[in-house]
Amino acid sequence: MYLYGDCSAYISGLVHKLPKEELHLALDAFFKPYYSKLPNYEAEAAECKPKAILATAWRFDEFSGYGSYCNFQIGIDNADKHVQALQTGLRDRGIWFAGEHVAPLEEMGTVAGAYLSGEQAAKSILQQFSTSS
């Protein structure tokens, strides 16, 4: 599920504050009203119970900018140039970017796009520091 705003802040707070042994129960209690609406859901079926739930607390991480999502504001000019600048990075300073925000256009905002941009950044790093042709 993709969360943002107050809902995201709430989940991040759970992840950040709760002990690991309490986390799954708290997250399951939050998400169950949603996943229980899926087709063929049966409350007692083991197949319908999440085995694991992953949530991040990037909202509290200074190195991720206290968040994990970027978007383009309505009316922004030259957004494509912004993306191109991030995709290029600052190679002369040894800085490359990867993530959903610098993915190829058709994959932007997706996990697959984040992966692809990571591959591209790695290729750029290898190319820059390769000693062979």
How is residue 81 annotated by DSSP? H
Q: What is the pTM of this model?
A: 0.56
Reported as a single tens digit per residue, the pLDDT across 107-133 is 888 889 899 999 999 999 999 888 765
**What is the count of structural domains for the chain?**
2
- In this structure, are 11 and 60 located in the same domain? yes
What is the spatial distance between Cα 74 and Cα 69, in angstroms, rounded to a whole number? 16
In a domain, 70, yes or no: no
In a domain, 74, yes or no: no
- Picking from 57, 85, 83, the residue whose alpha carbon sits closest to that of residue 70 is 83
Domain of 9? 5-64
Q: Which residue positions in the chain have pLDDT lower than 50?
A: none
